[in-house]
Structure 1
Amino acid sequence: MLLGLDLKTWLGFTILGAIVSTLGSLFGVVLKDYCFTRSFERWRQRQTLEQLYQKFRDPLLLSARELASRTAEVIDHFPTVYLNERVLASRPETQVANNIDDPYFKRYKLVSTAYRLSAFMAWVELYRQELTFLHSGNNAHATELERAVGRIRSDLADGQLNNANDWDKWKDKLIFREELRAIGESLIETRGATRTVIGYGRYCEQLETTTPNAVQRWSPVVLNFFLELQTNGKDFRQTRLKRLLVHLVELMRLIDPNSTEPYLEKACAELRSEVK
């Protein structure tokens, strides 16, 4: 007997203490190896997502601005004098006059229009590829950007946007979602250890060379969307371009609230009620 307790009782307390100690140790291991590790992994993923967003925000913003500027111009001068098959087939060597009727200038406007859309989709695709194994829901910037890009894809790819009763009598062209990705992929190149988007000069070289390449393969899909716009009031591509402009401006505003020029903001405000 010790302190009024027999040996059996003391042994029971000892065993109980050992059990409590063991359970405490196990709980500590679980807390450290599971909870803390998972929390750290989530923090690290959020940091990676934020770094990716910061890495791509400037090129996405610049390419969106250039595409928005050209889209606004096409809308203002719809259907334009340069988005047609005749200009595409022309091969003027030099500019002769400083006006929109110059053949060289018109072909530049056509090719650069295709390039601006392709380059924007290339930056989107490059960002998407680096985001593939990350959960974008862990970062507010990534989630909002994904939604904004989704609306732009919808403007170009969704066939059910036209809700007119005689929709089947309208002219319309689409660029499907996988095609948008392929167009973007065709402009991505590797420079050393860096993957980036080819510039306008390289794009023109790929377009004109006799050697088959990805740019040549997918540029007709882009051109098919833009060429031979019609003025009869039933070319739904005009509505698609209006939607595209609104959503490009919204994307720019999302990336940088002070990044949009006043004329783009004005155009967006005027068109927003039409595209809802």
Structure 2
Amino acid sequence: MINSIKEQIQKVYNFIVNIILPSVCPSCRQESVTPHLLCADCWNAITFIQKPLCNCCGTPLAFAADQLMCVPCLANPPVFDSGRSVFTYSGLSRDLVLRFKHSDATHLSRCLAPFLKSVGQEFFQAADYIMPVPLHRWRLFKRQYNQATLLARAVSSLVDRPVLTNCLIRKKATQSQGHKTIKERKKNVKQAFEVINPDIIKGKTVVLIDDVWTTGATIDACTKTLKKSGADRVFVLTLARVVKEF
């Protein structure tokens, strides 16, 4: 009875809000049919990552085959168990991520979380915890929020898995990874992370959430730290991925 009343109140509230504040596309800010979702034009402007994919890291491939893996994964198998990304880091999707990351567009987490849920469905089914890639406390102080944490919390509410935000920490104030080579990126994040209370993740499966997958240096560093601290499996899920043209 109480739940029924709450549902009716929520419907009335949504109706009034939609009249006073019509739904807008989170990307272009034009009026949209569905709240918190991209309009058709913006949707079509984004390159979503689709099969064929590397079975290990999820990078898009030029052709399909059974049990296919990309050359980098064959040459150097990743420390994480599997990884996936929603779309390529280019054009409109790049602008969207940068606005979410640097321009206080925190509302975008509600728009982007359903994409993560869809792409990472198998990960979440197996997961014990969702964990964001952490910022160092000083960078968090300057930015006021961690975009990976916002995404993790938003998708947590959709998949009913708990978020751990104070387990994996960035203990070293690393430099920005932008404009660094792969070798420099790996050196920059080496021993930058630490697990607090490792008993929490011992034998557990973790889904690691981040906004952009560039070279994978940060992801690898986080995964090594988690597995060294006892995590059984680590799946990686990001919004965007830098993809080289075929």
TM-score, length basis structure 2: 0.29
Where relative contact order (Cα < 8 A, 6+ residues apart) is larger, the structure is 1
User: Larger % of helix: which?
Assistant: 1
